[in-house]
Chains A and B, each alone.
Chain A
Amino acid sequence: MKTSAQAGVAPRPEAKVVAGNLVNLAADRPMRLDCGLEIGPFNLAYQTYGSLNRERTNAVLICHALTGDQHVANAHPVTAKEGWWQNLVGPGRILDTDRFFVICANVLGGCMGTAGPMEINPATGEPWGLDFPMVTVGDMVRAQILLLDRLGIESVFLTLGGSMGGMQVLELGAKYPDRVFAAAPIATAAYHTSQNIAFHEAGRQAIMADANWRGGDYWKYNTEPHAGLAVARMIAHITYLSEAALHDKFGRRLQNRDVLSFGFGADFQVESYLRYQGSTFVERFDANSYLYITRAMDYFDLAADFGGHLADAFQNSPTRWCSFSFTSDWLFPTAENRAIVKALAAAGADVSFVEINSDKGHDSFLLEVPEFHDTLRGFIEGSAAKRGLAR
């Protein structure tokens, strides 16, 4: 990769916003994955906003969710939509880019420039496809640590993320405690529940049942399993909402018609909405990547790495923690987040726990929910004061 050499250089402390960084990692020594295989050298695509201060103490590492990416606060290169956490990140915002150096990397296994099944396998010169090694949340975090090493950041001021992003935050805090000053796992869990694995499996089966998937080799046939991936997205999207949110938004209202069609068109607004969500998703996401990343989430079980005792994952944690959940989130319900908090408290860690009243379901963490933003701001400001970062 031509761009990797120059992007691999750490930004100077006074560097301005750089869009579209690509860094080549694990070149001198391959990175060992949880599955036992090794990967490297490999590319990691990331975005940064703001600049690293001279003391290198103001870095904020955002970890994205399953179908998120590194485009947190800039127009998306494919969809041209604003960044997925644009409401949090920017000058004067809660993650103030005049104060903080905000980093977000596309996860390992992703499809926005980081090594993943649609990227080229250097050994064959062809896309990896299903030859890409199985990756875990632990592997995603290993790759992020290599990025921090490359950027010369010893310890991030804050890491935060929702859903799978929250899993990475937990993994970072548990496995690399000295590199995380403050951590905010949001709408997440310390392990993927049976119900959540079940939803993922239904989505994967939809992809694999699409004749265009072709055993994962679809690029060879110049086709993509769009129908299957769209169904997977539709299933998942339902889990990100809540009954109340769907009812408020659509009820039983009909789409562009006054009477039922007595057919299988999108009679209902909710059907039309889901079909739209599915069809736009396939334009920006790779089906194999979806398989790999959902699998990584399924495999996540932080306590399992610590003899089955979650509290042992956080022994002597020097990190300031704050966990967030949302009342209507049934994918990562309050109880799962509270279990994390109980383990942190049992380990004697500095932990706060906020449950936010919201009827918007799991997606609440992405939306304009004032109480969420107020408490997150309080946590960040309290942590910044302890880190000695000026307002």
Chain B
Amino acid sequence: MSHGRRPGGGGVRPDLQVVADMVAPGRRVLDVGCMDGTLLAYLGAEKGVDGRGMELSQAGVNACVARGLSVIQGDADTDLSDYPSASFDYAILSQTLQATRRPDRVLVELLRIGKQAIVSFPNFGYWRVRLALAVQGRMPVTKSLDRPWYETPNIHFCTIKDFVELCHDLGIRLERRIAIDSDGRVRPFSSRAASANLFAEQAVCLLSKPAR
């Protein structure tokens, strides 16, 4: 991954920057799992998007509203069904997929609500993760997986290859695939994802449903 470029702009986390770079200016965005609203605020200020958020923690929601964002409390597994179809240009799910009960259904819902979806997730195939399990025999704790197994909200880990395969099975098209290494360098990866699956700490994908 040493030849990857560092994402432009300043301030936001590398994975959020990659997500933001995929959003065309002035569009309607739903950020599912928007936390304290960092991405929504950035998209509003830098790209003029009409952004809304959904966040599981009420403390996160209140923080978002206090900074002037439009956010409701909700659970990606159960509350996306409230939204009308095709009501957003993008439905974004950053670092949340692995914490959902049914990631497959959440992906389908994202692409019902959004014309496109942008999903970022930690790669469980990352070599440090593999090393922790293979050599130390311990559940991995890394920068993007920073909580011990007993208190992590993450219940459905996947590797980049697993994710690519799930999208294939669900008939979801991967329009763009970006790998991010532990230094925050980004690089596109192919659908085979052989090297990204080992060297990327995180991945960000732009998804769409094939035209019927």
Q: How far is the CA of A347 from the CA of B62 in the complex (A)?
A: 22
Nearest neighbor of B66 in chain A, beta-carbon distance:
A378
Given A345-B72, A346-B82, A355-B73, check contact A375 B87 (CB 8 Å): no
Q: Nearest Cβ distance between residue A309 and chain B, in whole angstroms? A: 13
Q: Which of chain A's residues have a CB closer than 8 A to the CB of B79? A: 342
Q: Tell whether, in the assembled complex, residue A353 and residue B72 are in contact, meaning their CB atoms are under 8 Å apart.
A: yes
Interface residues of A in 343-369 (CB under 8 A from B): 345-348, 350-356
Q: Tell whether, in the assembled complex, residue B70 and residue A350 are in contact, meaning their CB atoms are under 8 Å apart.
A: yes
Q: Nearest Cβ distance between residue B56 and chain A, in whole angstroms? A: 13
Given A346-B82, A356-B62, check contact A379 B68 (CB 8 Å): yes
Q: Tell whether, in the assembled complex, residue B69 and residue A346 are in contact, meaning their CB atoms are under 8 Å apart.
A: no
Q: Nearest Cβ distance between residue B22 and chain A, in whole angstroms? A: 23
Q: Nearest Cβ distance between residue B66 and chain A, in whole angstroms? A: 4
Q: How far is the CA of A375 from the CA of B64 in the complex (A)?
A: 8
- In the assembled complex, A377 has its CB within 8 A of some CB on chain B: yes
Q: Tell whether, in the assembled complex, residue B71 and residue A352 are in contact, meaning their CB atoms are under 8 Å apart.
A: yes
Given A346-B82, A348-B84, A348-B87, check contact A385 B62 (CB 8 Å): no
Q: Tell whether, in the assembled complex, residue A351 and residue B73 are in contact, meaning their CB atoms are under 8 Å apart.
A: no
- In the assembled complex, A293 has its CB within 8 A of some CB on chain B: no
Nearest neighbor of A344 in chain B, beta-carbon distance:
B72
Q: Tell whether, in the assembled complex, residue A354 and residue B61 are in contact, meaning their CB atoms are under 8 Å apart.
A: yes
Q: How far is the CA of A315 from the CA of B67 in the complex (A)?
A: 27
- In the assembled complex, A200 has its CB within 8 A of some CB on chain B: no
- In the assembled complex, A154 has its CB within 8 A of some CB on chain B: no
- In the assembled complex, A374 has its CB within 8 A of some CB on chain B: yes
- In the assembled complex, B132 has its CB within 8 A of some CB on chain A: no
Q: How far is the CA of A342 from the CA of B72 in the complex (A)?
A: 9
Q: How far is the CA of A342 from the CA of B70 in the complex (A)?
A: 14
Q: How far is the CA of A350 from the CA of B65 in the complex (A)?
A: 12
Q: Tell whether, in the assembled complex, residue B62 and residue A354 are in contact, meaning their CB atoms are under 8 Å apart.
A: yes
Nearest neighbor of B72 in chain A, beta-carbon distance:
A353
Q: Tell whether, in the assembled complex, residue A374 and residue B72 are in contact, meaning their CB atoms are under 8 Å apart.
A: no
Q: How far is the CA of A338 from the CA of B78 in the complex (A)?
A: 14
Q: Nearest Cβ distance between residue B72 and chain A, in whole angstroms? A: 4
- In the assembled complex, A251 has its CB within 8 A of some CB on chain B: no
Render A368-383 as a binary contact track against B, CB cut-off 8 A, 1 for contact: 0001001101110111
Given A354-B62, A355-B58, check contact A378 B84 (CB 8 Å): no
Q: Nearest Cβ distance between residue A231 and chain B, in whole angstroms? A: 37
Main secondary structure of the interface of A (DSSP, over half): helix
- In the assembled complex, B52 has its CB within 8 A of some CB on chain A: yes
Nearest neighbor of A350 in chain B, beta-carbon distance:
B70
- In the assembled complex, B83 has its CB within 8 A of some CB on chain A: yes
Q: Which of chain B's residues have a CB closer than 8 A to the CB of A347? A: 84
Q: How far is the CA of A353 from the CA of B62 in the complex (A)?
A: 8
Q: Which of chain A's residues have a CB closer than 8 A to the CB of B84? A: 346-348
In which size bucket is the chain B interface?
A: 20 to 34
Q: Tell whether, in the assembled complex, residue A320 and residue B70 are in contact, meaning their CB atoms are under 8 Å apart.
A: yes
Q: How far is the CA of A379 from the CA of B153 in the complex (A)?
A: 29
Q: Which of chain B's residues have a CB closer than 8 A to the CB of A382? A: 65, 67-70
Q: Nearest Cβ distance between residue A112 and chain B, in whole angstroms? A: 33
Q: Nearest Cβ distance between residue A267 and chain B, in whole angstroms? A: 40
Q: Nearest Cβ distance between residue A337 and chain B, in whole angstroms? A: 11
Q: Which of chain B's residues have a CB closer than 8 A to the CB of A353? A: 61, 71-73
- In the assembled complex, A322 has its CB within 8 A of some CB on chain B: yes
Q: Which of chain A's residues have a CB closer than 8 A to the CB of B68? A: 378-379, 381-383, 385
Q: Which of chain B's residues have a CB closer than 8 A to the CB of A60? A: none
Q: Tell whether, in the assembled complex, residue A352 and residue B69 are in contact, meaning their CB atoms are under 8 Å apart.
A: yes
Q: Tell whether, in the assembled complex, residue A375 and residue B62 are in contact, meaning their CB atoms are under 8 Å apart.
A: yes
Render B55-98 as a binary contact track against A, CB cut-off 8 A, 1 for contact: 00010011011111111110000010011100100000000000
Q: Nearest Cβ distance between residue A323 and chain B, in whole angstroms? A: 8
Q: Nearest Cβ distance between residue B41 and chain A, in whole angstroms? A: 10
Q: Which of chain A's residues have a CB closer than 8 A to the CB of B73? A: 338, 353, 355
Q: Which of chain A's residues have a CB closer than 8 A to the CB of B83? A: 345-346, 348
Q: Tell whether, in the assembled complex, residue A342 and residue B62 are in contact, meaning their CB atoms are under 8 Å apart.
A: no
Given A345-B72, A353-B61, A371-B62, check contact A378 B82 (CB 8 Å): no
Given A345-B82, A346-B83, A348-B84, check contact A379 B65 (CB 8 Å): yes
Nearest neighbor of B68 in chain A, beta-carbon distance:
A382
Q: Nearest Cβ distance between residue B87 and chain A, in whole angstroms? A: 5
Q: How far is the CA of A385 from the CA of B55 in the complex (A)?
A: 23
Render A23-54 as a binary contact track against B, CB cut-off 8 A, 1 for contact: 00000000000000000000000000000000
- In the assembled complex, A341 has its CB within 8 A of some CB on chain B: yes
Q: How far is the CA of A323 from the CA of B212 in the complex (A)?
A: 39
Q: How far is the CA of A319 from the CA of B23 in the complex (A)?
A: 25
Interface residues of B in 124-138 (CB under 8 A from A): none
14 sampled A-B residue pairs with Cβ under 8 A: A322-B70, A342-B79, A342-B82, A347-B84, A352-B69, A352-B71, A353-B61, A353-B71, A356-B62, A375-B62, A377-B66, A378-B68, A379-B68, A382-B68
**Which residues of A are in contact with B by a Cβ distance under 8 Å?**
320, 322, 338, 341-342, 345-348, 350-356, 371, 374-375, 377-379, 381-383, 385
